[in-house]
Amino acid sequence: MIKKLLIFFLPVMALVILMATQSQAQQHIARRLGHPTTRFADPLQTPADLRDRLTSEKLSDDVAVIVNLCEGWQGDIGDFRHAAATAPITSLQIPVGASLPAMSSRDNGKPILLRDVLWGGKEPIDAYEFFFYSKGRHYRCVTPKACCNFWIEYLGPDKRVPVLAIECNTPVKVSIHRPIRVCMTVKNIGDAPDKLVTVTLPIPAGTIFISPTGETNATARRAFWRINNLAPGVSKHLCADFTALQPCTLEFDSSAHGTIAEPVKALCATRVTGLPAVLFEVIDIADPIEVGQQETYELSVVNQGSSVLTNVVIICTLEDSQQFVSGGGATDATAHGRTITFAPLAELSPKDTVKWQVVVKSLTDGDIRFAAELTSDQFKRSITETEATRQY
């Protein structure tokens, strides 16, 4: 009879134990933290302590066990370790009665993860937290200070995106034949890295690309740079040197795009100015001349530079032994006593030549000096020429 009763009660006892185990699996109630036999690691005082525990070589395998047991974890343990070492760590308090998704612990020294933990203590839990990303997913790591019983929570997909910004800078004005440096600053102002950012700078017509940096595509006439793994908040400074073949206004239309980031553009311009240079000659047509005869002086101006000469004015001065008869050429002449002034020539283009003539009458014999002066907006000082004539 006794044997029959024992046989009857054994299955019942097993059922009671099984039900208790299932109940415990549904929720754990924690009322105290920090017991040496159940805490994951030594208590924490500072964020540096947390970094030390989670990156410790001694705890490396145990940390990996807990991370891989956390619900929703599909990341890379290397990303977790990097975040533990570098991510900003902040303090928080877990209120009494809070339901926690999990909490690490130890059972006979082995790392275990308890799921669905209710904090039933009398005071809030002081803890640390940090956030990180791995394999396109967003995670949060929470660690109570008293026991280091950390856990990881999956927060959802990684919704960060890289966003590019670009600036273009070049001198406002550069003389021809001088290098024109164009610099671009590309920055990732988003919250995610971009694996490859390409910066493109078309080479304007009439210029030569001379920079030793960057790459060029001769057919497409453009320079470009490749930036690998442009992290959030990081900027790159890129420059290129050009020379212009003639005076003009050059526009540099730079752009950047990433594998994820949308394209952005920036425009900058520089004015290439020519160099002023002039050849001023004065010759007499007949020399010597007899008193009472007329002499013709020919004045020639050649723009030898690469910039337009503006407001070109010629002024001639006669000696007492000569008398003004007439003047003409590129502009009209006006005489005031022995000073002959030609009306201003508005512009003289590079390589162009203009001429004026002054006709005078010889009054007395002597060694004469016919003086002429040229001024223009491009020269701070006047240019003077004299021509010697023998009158007899």
| Least confident piece of the model among 16-25, 102-111, 167-176, 207-216 | 16-25
Q: Are residues 135 and 172 in the same domain?
A: no
Q: Are residues 387 and 285 in the same domain?
A: yes
Q: Is the pTM of this model over 0.85?
A: no
Give dist(CA 354, CA 356) in Å, integer. 7
Bin 72: left if φ > 0, else alpha if -120 < ψ < 50, else beta.
left
In a domain, 366, yes or no: yes
pLDDT confidence of 183, banded at 50, 70, 90?
A: very high
* Residue range(s) defining the domain that contains residue 212: 164-273
pLDDT, tens digit, for every residue of 212-258?
677 777 677 888 899 999 999 999 999 999 999 888 999 999 999 99
In a domain, 15, yes or no: no
Sign of CA dihedral 111, 117, 119, 124: positive
CB 186 within 8 A of CB 236: yes
In a domain, 98, yes or no: yes
Res. 181: pLDDT tops 80: yes
Per-residue confidence (pLDDT) for residue 206, from 0 to 100: 87
In a domain, 16, yes or no: no
The structural domain count of the chain equals 3
Of the residues 253, 273, 293, the one at which a domain ends: 273
Per-residue confidence (pLDDT) for residue 218, from 0 to 100: 65
For the stretch 249-255, contacts whose Cβ atoms lie closer than 8 Å and that sit 24 or more positions apart, written own/partner, are 250/180, 250/204, 250/206, 250/207, 251/204, 252/168, 252/170, 252/182, 252/201, 252/202, 252/204, 253/201, 253/202, 254/166, 254/168, 254/182, 254/184, 254/199, 254/200, 254/201, 255/166, 255/199, 255/200, 255/201
Tell me the H-state helices in the chain.
2-26, 47-54, 60-69, 77-86
Number of helical H runs and strand E runs in the chain: 4, 27
Phi and psi dihedrals of 17, rounded to 5? -60, -45
Which of 314, 327, 336, 197 is CA-nearest to residue 260?
Answer: 197
Per-residue confidence (pLDDT) for residue 370, from 0 to 100: 97
In a domain, 14, yes or no: no
CATH of the domain at 258: 2.60.40.10
Burial per residue of 110-137, b for 16 or more beta-carbon CB atoms within 10 angstroms, e otherwise: ebebbbebebebeeebebbbbebbbeeb
Q: Are residues 351 and 243 in the same domain?
A: no
For the stretch 332-335, contacts whose Cβ atoms lie closer than 8 Å and that sit 24 or more positions apart, written own/partner, are 333/358
Q: Amino acid letter at 319?
A: E
Q: Are residues 124 and 42 in the same domain?
A: yes
The predicted model gives 370-391 an average pLDDT of: 96
In a domain, 12, yes or no: no
Q: Are residues 318 and 249 in the same domain?
A: no
Of the residues 136, 157, 178, the one at which a domain ends: 157
pLDDT confidence of 36, banded at 50, 70, 90?
A: very high
Q: Are residues 283 and 385 in the same domain?
A: yes
Q: Are residues 284 and 269 in the same domain?
A: no
Sign of CA dihedral 286, 289, 294, 300: positive
Res. 49: pLDDT tops 80: yes
Q: Are residues 47 and 130 in the same domain?
A: yes
Q: 10 Å Cβ neighbour count for 211?
A: 16
Res. 12: pLDDT tops 50: no
The percentage of residues in the chain with a pLDDT greater than 70, rounded to a whole number, is 93
Say if residue 6 is exposed, middle or buried (CB neighbours under 10 Å; 0-12, 13-18, 19+): exposed
The predicted model gives 131-147 an average pLDDT of: 95
Q: Are residues 111 and 180 in the same domain?
A: no
Bin 329: left if φ > 0, else alpha if -120 < ψ < 50, else beta.
left
Which of 319, 303, 314 is CA-nearest to residue 360?
Answer: 319
Of the residues 273, 295, 327, the one at which a domain ends: 273
pLDDT, tens digit, for every residue of 302-324?
999 988 999 999 999 999 999 99
In a domain, 2, yes or no: no
Q: Are residues 283 and 256 in the same domain?
A: no
pLDDT, tens digit, for every residue of 270-298?
999 988 999 999 999 999 999 999 999 99
Q: Are residues 43 and 86 in the same domain?
A: yes
Q: Are residues 35 and 148 in the same domain?
A: yes
pLDDT confidence of 177, banded at 50, 70, 90?
A: confident
In a domain, 7, yes or no: no
pLDDT confidence of 338, banded at 50, 70, 90?
A: very high
